[in-house]
């Protein structure tokens, strides 16, 4: 039984490796206009009934975006909307597919940081679960972590606070902080033994 399981795992791993190679080929053969059609369709495939197929789709998207994310500016909003819809549809937030999809959005965000952050800060309140999950992924992503925290600090410092109503930008920042930045504090403080980090300024600046 164990041998059969190991064989199945090896086949699945090999398939994912082949998907990465396929993405490399697609990057070379697909025009910009074709990519604009392909990416939204692929994102819809991350919630397929077959988990291996979903993982393969996420890996393909990661490969495509690593090479071609710079071309997506004109339809970036569409890609973010579809990703959030698909994250919302999924029940298991900790599944391998969820993690791979969120990583794919991180790759996209590295290329279009300000545009993605601006979009996420315009979501309705209370902040939807899928947006909080995405922010958590962004602050867990090493290349993005400091940029995200700095962005949130500016959002608080630059937004006039209303004394009679909810101030949406600040409400969004504090909502995501409760779920996202606390994770970063715990990881950095207890695992990396750093005593002073920019996280503190997020709360006290």
Q: How many CB atoms lie within 10 A of CB 127?
A: 21
Q: Is residue 113 part of a domain?
A: no
Exposed e or buried b per residue across 163-190, where buried means at least 16 C-beta atoms within 10 angstroms of its C-beta: eeeeebbbebbbbbbeebbeebbeebee
**Residue 180 within a domain:** yes
**Position 21 in a domain:** yes
Kindly tell me the sign of the dihedral angle through the C-alpha atoms of 174, 178, 180, 186.
positive
Q: Residue 101 falls within a domain, yes or no? A: no
Q: What is the pLDDT of residue 62?
A: 93
pLDDT in tens, 32-85: 999 999 999 999 999 988 888 899 999 999 999 999 999 999 999 999 999 999
Residue 150 included in any domain: yes
Asked if residue 18 belongs to a domain, the reply is: yes
Q: Give the pLDDT confidence score for residue 205 in this predicted structure.
A: 39
> Cβ distance 14 to 56 under 8 Å?
no
Same domain, residue pair 127 and 187: yes
Do 71 and 139 have their domain in common?
A: no
Number of domains, the chain? 2
Q: Of 174, 195, 81, 191, which Cα lies nearest the Cα of 140?
A: 191
Whole domain around residue 57: which residue ranges? 1-91
Average pLDDT, the chain: 78
What is the predicted pLDDT for the residue at 94? 84
Same domain, 82 and 30: yes
d(Cα 72, Cα 172) in Å, to the nearest integer?
26
- Per-residue pLDDT, 180: 55
The pLDDT of residue 110 is above 50 = yes
Is residue 200 included in any domain, yes or no? yes
- Evaluate whether residue 104 is within a structural domain: no
- The pLDDT, as a whole number, for residue 201 is 40
Q: Residues 202, 88, 63, CA angle at the centre, nearest 5°?
A: 80
Closest CA to 20 of 63, 65, 51: 63
Same domain membership, residue 132 and residue 55: no
Query: pLDDT of 140-176, one tens digit each?
Result: 899 998 898 888 878 777 767 767 766 666 667 766 6
Final residue belonging to a domain, choices 75, 91, 107: 91
CB atoms within 10 A of CB 28: 7
Domain boundary among 70, 91, 112: 91
pLDDT tens, residue by residue, 2-24: 344 434 444 456 666 777 777 88
Residue 23 · residue 63 · CB < 8 Å: yes
């Amino acid at each position: 039984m164990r041998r059969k399981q190991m064989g199945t795992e090896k086949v699945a791993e090999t398939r994912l490796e082949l998907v990465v190679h396929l993405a490399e080929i697609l990057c070379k053969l697909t025009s910009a206009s074709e990519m604009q059609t392909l990416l939204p369709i692929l994102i819809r495939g991350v919630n397929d009934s077959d988990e291996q197929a979903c993982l393969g789709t996420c890996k393909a998207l990661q490969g495509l975006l690593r090479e071609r994310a710079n071309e997506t500016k004109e339809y970036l909003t569409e890609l973010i909307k579809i990703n959030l819809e698909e994250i919302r549809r999924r029940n298991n937030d900790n599944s391998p597919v969820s993690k791979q999809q969120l990583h794919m959005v991180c790759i996209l965000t590295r290329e279009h940081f300000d545009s993605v952050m601006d979009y996420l800060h315009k979501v309705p309140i209370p902040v939807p679960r899928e947006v909080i999950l995405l922010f958590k992924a962004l602050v867990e992503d090493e290349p993005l972590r400091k940029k995200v925290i700095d962005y949130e600090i500016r959002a608080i410092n630059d937004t006039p606070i209303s004394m009679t109503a909810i101030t949406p930008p600040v409400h969004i920042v504090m909502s995501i902080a409760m779920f996202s930045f606390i994770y970063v504090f715990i990881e950095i403080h207890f695992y990396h033994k750093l005593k002073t980090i920019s996280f503190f300024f997020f709360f006290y600046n």
